[in-house]
Amino acid sequence: DLELIVRVQPGLDGQFVGDVGRIRQIVTNLLGNAVKFTDEGHVLVDVTGERVPAGTKLTISVTDTGIGLAEDKLKVVFEKFSQVDTSSTRRHEGTGLGLAITSRLVEMMGGEIGVDSAEGKGSTFWFTITLPRAEQGGQRITPVDVTGARVLIVDDNAVNRSILSEQMASWMFDSCAAESGAEGLKVLIAAAAYGVPVDCVVLDYQMPGMTGAEMARIVRNTAGLAHTPIIMLTSVDQSLANTTYRDLGIDAQLIKPARSSVLLETLVATIQRHRHSSAAAQPAVGGSLTQAAPARTATSDRAMLQPPPVRARQ
C-alpha cells in the first residue's frame, strides 16, 4: 500500500501571486516520479515558507520511501533521459524527461531545485520559489467554545500522527496520539476514568491489527464511551461503506489527505454539535487530556498538508 501525505507549515500565508500552471506541473511531475519509484510506504508533500522582502520564499519537498538514488546519479538526475539504471527504465516505463522539464520550469521562475537521496532509502526532491503574497482575509480562528477541546488521534503512520498533532496544536486543541486501535482505546478509557473524556476521535480507517471500523464498533459498545464523536479518515473513497459508517455512528468521513480548512471545520462542527446536545445533561469538565492518559505509548506527532492556494497573475 502507498499513502499520500500532505503537510503545510502552520501559519503559512495561504495565497500568493504566481504562475499556478507552472507550479502545478512542477508538483505533479515530482509526485509522479515519487509514486513511480515507490512500491510501498508513503509519499509526503511538505510545504514550508519564510517571509523575505520580496514576499515569501516557499520550499516544497516531495519525500518518498522508494528505491532511492545512488550517489553518482544525484548530479545527473535532472538531465534529459536520465534514469537510475536501465532496469528501472524497463520496470517503470520512464525516460526521466519529466525531471528535466521540472528543473527547467523551476529555473524559469527564478527558483532552485535539488534532491537528497540514498540508494534503497528513498528520496526527497525539493524546490524553492519566491512569490509575492496576495491580499487575503484574516486568519481562521478556532471558535472559543471549542478551544482546548480534547482530541485523540489514532493512526498507525507516525508521519500522519505528527502532522495531525501539529495541526491540533496550531488550532488550540489539546491532543494526544496513539499508534493503534488498542492504544487508542486505552487512552479513551483512561481519560474517561480521570473525568476528562475525549471530545472527538480522529481515526484512521486502514490500520493493521484493529481497523478503524473495529475500534469504532468497540467504542460504540463500551459504557462511558459510546457517545464519543468519531471522524474517520480514509485513503480511498469509502462511499460504498456509508451504511456501515451510519451503523457505527461515525460523525464524519474525510478522504486523505484532507484539506486543513476542511478538517478544522469538521472538527469544530462535530465538537460543537456534541457539546450542545449533551450540555443539559452534563456540565463542561476541565482538565488536560495528556495528563489524563498515562496509558498512551505513541508519541504526539504530525493528511495533512495541502499545497497552499496559488492565484495566477492577471
- Structural domain includes residue 49: yes
- Structural domain includes residue 172: yes
What single DSSP character describes residue 111?
-
Per-residue model confidence (pLDDT) at position 279: 64
Q: What is the mean pLDDT of residues 229-252?
A: 80
Query: Over the chain, what is the mean pLDDT?
Result: 83
Does 158 share its domain with 239? yes
Instruction: Print the SS3 string covering 72-97.
Output: HHCCCCCCCCCCCCHHHHHHHCCCCH
- Structural domain includes residue 201: yes
Q: Tell me which of 78, 103, 136 is where a domain ends.
A: 136
Per-residue model confidence (pLDDT) at position 87: 53
| Distance (Å, whole) CA 206 – CA 217 | 14
Does 171 share its domain with 281? yes
Does 167 share its domain with 53? no
Residue with C-alpha cell 520496470?
91
Q: What is the pTM of this model?
A: 0.80
Grid coordinates given for 280 = 443539559
Q: What is the total count of domains within the chain?
A: 2
- Structural domain includes residue 163: yes
Percentage of residues in the chain with pLDDT exceeding 90? 61
First to last CA, the chain: 41
- Structural domain includes residue 307: no
Does 110 share its domain with 31? yes
Does 118 share its domain with 174? no
Q: Tell me which of 136, 159, 176 is where a domain ends.
A: 136
Q: What are phi and psi of 136, to 5 degrees?
A: -150, 165
CATH assignment at residue 162: 3.40.50.2300
Does 22 share its domain with 124? yes
Closest by CA position to 197, among listed 270, 298, 293: 293
Binned at pLDDT 50, 70 and 90, residue 116 comes out as very high
Contact (CB, 8 A) for 156 and 42: no
Q: Which of 102-116, 124-138, 277-291 has the lowest mean pLDDT?
A: 277-291
- Structural domain includes residue 92: yes
Cis before 143? omega within 30 = no
Per-residue model confidence (pLDDT) at position 251: 93
Q: Tell me which of 136, 164, 191 is where a domain ends.
A: 136
Q: What is the mean pLDDT of residues 166-182?
A: 96
Does 43 share its domain with 170? no
- Structural domain includes residue 310: no
Does 241 share its domain with 214? yes
Does 156 share its domain with 254? yes
Does 13 share its domain with 108? yes
pLDDT digits (tens, 9 = 90+) for 119-171: 989 999 999 999 998 876 656 667 768 888 999 999 999 999 999 999 999 99
- Structural domain includes residue 248: yes
Does 109 share its domain with 227? no
pLDDT digits (tens, 9 = 90+) for 193-217: 999 999 999 999 999 999 999 999 9
Grid coordinates given for 296 = 498512551
Closest by CA position to 148, among listed 259, 271, 252: 271
CATH assignment at residue 21: 3.30.565.10
Does 96 share its domain with 44? yes
- Domain extent for 245: 150-292
